[in-house]
Amino acid sequence: MKTVIIKYNAGNIRSVLFALERLNIEGVVTDDPKEIQAADKVIFPGVGEASSAMKYLQEKGLDKVIKNLEQPTLGICLGQQLMCKHSEENNTECLGIFDLNVKKFTSPVENLLKIPQIGWNNITGLHSKIFEHVPQNAYMYFVHSYYAELGSETTAIANYVINYSAALQKNNFYAVQFHPEKSAEHGEKLIESFLNL
Amino acid sequence: MLTKRIIPCLDIKDGRTVKGVNFENIRDAGDPIELGALYAEQGADELVFLDITATVERRKTLAELVTRIARHINIPFTVGGGISSVEDVRILLNAGADKVSVNSAAFRRPELLNELAQEFGSQCVVLAIDTKFEDGDWYVYLNGGRVKTESKTTDWAKEAVERGAGEILLTSMNNDGTKQGFALDITGRLAQDLSVPIIASGGAGTMQHFADVFEIAQADAALAASIFHYKEMEIQDLKKYLYQRNLSIRF
């Protein structure tokens, strides 16, 4: 089995590689369209800013490659946001795999809501194969200022003053807002389930 | 619901864990990777590694250590100590660190915070402040608490957040090493005034101290070192206690 991690100008790739390594899987980091298309599993990670990430993907022709993938593909954090339709972060048109908008958290009262959300939050309403071995209300590690709204593609819900999509799925496309590679044993189970799809 | 975080801190010197009491009298407390992995297993929510090595080779050895930590530990961790440039941060993030903490260098050249936020995003920029109460207010100290400044902690923290710091790690020098509890007043002031999470540090001795810093001072996270290193308190017991106090805690 070949697992590919899409290389682009967003951080965090090393953490994903190490998480795979702890599961005895060797990941390949690449931005080569052919290698990505030929992989059994694709991971689309990301920590960074939406507009510059999208610009980079477009320049490399990776936007079309990702949209047309047919094998199981997992977006993480910014990866999930980029798989949505549009992001409020610098008014960015994204890949449009999920028919959802990405919005910025706003505090109802000044400083009540710390932004970005940093830390462990629980996820509910889990219904996707990647959650097969993750219990309801499991805690996952989140670091983000933007979130995907709820929709029919939502497969896990988190709450930070409002309810939002902690995970999404449409056909072969899976996405999570949290960082499974940093979410201790529940995160490991999720990655393992994704790799076993 | 977002939980309060318990963060063990590991001071690193020449690749080993040490702990200073009131920033002096350093004493060996074990292997950092072993300790870090143990804490992760016991339910630590994050780890902080502070490098206090003062050799020329430190940057290279620290990057290697960071990679070893990232390989073995499945929870987020922050690395700090002597970080003074965008390049330093790039090396540590590429080595596998999730966040970095900056202290004296950011105070001396505050633009560093803008540069780091711009380049890597605020979410990985932690500003550490060592503070001491004197003459009626809390002042910023530099160089591991050896150099006093004329800046008030509230002013510097506010400026730092405006420049792009994503979290504040606040250590009270008055409380550090005393085991008499966290500095609730200054922690509370920052938690109320700022839009970013506050990590309280210095003074943890009992489980009640953690409950106080979360309930009274509204800290988002609490950091401690020696009580965990010397097994005076088990992380699991602490989290159970806090959970029973109705605080939002991860198990």
Q: What is the pLDDT of residues A144-153, one digit of tens each?
A: 999 999 999 9
What is the reported pTM? 0.93
Q: What is the DSSP letter of B6?
A: E
Cβ–Cβ < 8 Å for B1, B250: no
Going by C-alpha positions, the residue among B206, B105, B208, B217 that lies closest to residue B172 is B217
Structure confidence at residue B116 (pLDDT): 94
What is the pLDDT, as a whole number, of residue B24? 38
In our burial notation (b when 16+ CB lie closer than 10 A, e otherwise), range B139-153 reads bbbbebbeeeeebeb
Q: What is the pLDDT of residue B230?
A: 80
Encode pLDDT of B48-106 as tens digits: 999 987 666 777 788 999 999 999 999 999 999 989 999 999 999 989 999 999 999 99
- The one-letter code for the residue type at B85 is S
Q: What mean pLDDT comes out for the span B6-11?
A: 94
Mean pLDDT confidence for B176-183: 96
B130 is catalytic: yes
Whether residues B2 and A121 touch (CB distance < 8 A) is answered with yes
* A104/B112 Cα distance (integer angstroms): 25
Tokens for B69, please give them: 């930590």
Least confident of A93-102, B166-175, B177-186, B220-229: B220-229
Is the CB of residue A76 less than 8 Å from the CB of residue A179? yes
Nearest CA of chain A to the CA of B232: how many Å?
Answer: 24
Q: Which residues pair with A143 in a beta bridge?
A: A118
Tell me what pLDDT residue B33 has. 87
CATH of residue B77's domain is 3.20.20.70
pLDDT at A48 over 90: no
Q: Tell me the two tokens of residue B52.
A: 């206090």
Which residue in A49, A117, A145 is closest to B2 by CB distance? A117
What ipTM was estimated for this complex? 0.91
The dihedral over CA atoms of B108, B110, B115, B121, expressed in degrees to the nearest 10, equals 120
Chain A to chain B Cβ contacts (< 8 Å):
86
The verdict on residue B157 lying in a domain is yes
Can you tell me the distance from the alpha carbon of A175 to that of A81, in angstroms, rounded to the nearest whole number?
Answer: 9
Q: Measured between CA atoms, how close is A188 to chain B, in angstroms?
A: 8
In a domain, B74, yes or no: yes
Helices (H) and strands (E) in chain A, counts: 6, 13
Determine the distance in angstroms separating the CA of B62 from the nearest CA of chain A, rounded to an integer: 16
**H helix or E strand, kind and range, residue A134:** none
The residue-averaged pLDDT of B231-251 equals 95
Is position B251 within any domain?
Answer: no
Residue B134 pLDDT: 95
Residue B60: predicted pLDDT: 75
Mean pLDDT of chain B: 91
* Cα B21 from Cα B4, distance rounded (Å): 25
Flag whether residue A132 sits within 8 Å of chain B, measured between CB atoms: no
Would you state the pLDDT for residue A112? 79
Is the separation of the CB atoms in B158 and B206 below 8 Å?
A: no
- Would you state the pLDDT for residue A85? 98
CB contact under 8 A, B220 and A145: no
Alpha carbon A48 to its chain's center: 12
- The per-residue pLDDT of chain A, averaged, comes to 95
**Distance, CA of B174 to CA of B130 (rounded, Å):** 10
Q: What gap in Å lies between CA A29 and CA A21, rounded to an integer? A: 13
Residue B250 placed within a domain: no
d(CA A194, CA A196): 5
Instruction: Provide the H-helix boundaries in B109-216.
Output: 111-120, 153-163, 184-193, 207-215
> In chain A, which residues have their Cβ closer than 8 Å to the Cβ of B197?
114, 118-119
Q: What is the pLDDT of residue B38?
A: 86
Q: How many Å apart are CA B45 and CA B87, to the nearest integer? A: 28
Closest to B65 in 3D by CA, of B40, B90, B91: B91
User: Above 50 in pLDDT, residue B20?
Assistant: no
Please give the single-letter amino acid code of residue A178. F
Does the beta-carbon distance from A47 to B167 stay under 8 Å? Answer: no
In a domain? residue B78: yes
Percentage of chain B modeled with pLDDT above 70: 94
Q: Which of these ranges, A32-46, A88-102, A106-120, has the smallest mean pLDDT?
A: A106-120
Residue B145 belongs to a domain: yes
Is the pLDDT score of B156 beyond 80? yes
Query: Could you list the residue range(s) of the whole structural domain that residue B106 is in?
Result: 5-244
Which range (A164-168, B29-33, B160-164, B220-224) has the least confidence? B29-33
Q: Contact, A176 vs A76, CB < 8 A?
A: yes
Predicted confidence (pLDDT) at residue A9 exceeds the cutoff of 90: no
Contacts of A140 in chain B (CB under 8 A): none
- pLDDT > 90? residue A10: no
Confirm or reject contact between A115 and chain B (CB < 8 A).
Answer: yes
The predicted pLDDT at position B22 comes to: 37
Does B133 or B52 have the greater pLDDT score?
A: B133
- The verdict on residue B44 lying in a domain is yes
Average pLDDT on B17-44 reads 69
Say yes or no: B218 contacts chain A, CB-CB below 8 A.
no
Taking CB atoms and an 8 Å cutoff, what residues of chain A touch B122?
Answer: 116
Q: Which two tokens stand for residue A35?
A: 């290698």
Tell me how many domains chain B contains: 1
Lowest mean pLDDT among A44-48, B14-18, B38-42: B14-18
pLDDT at B27 > cutoff 70: no
Across the range A46-72, mean pLDDT stands at 92
Residues B112 and B102: their CA atoms lie apart, in Å, by 9
Does B81 fall in a domain?
A: yes
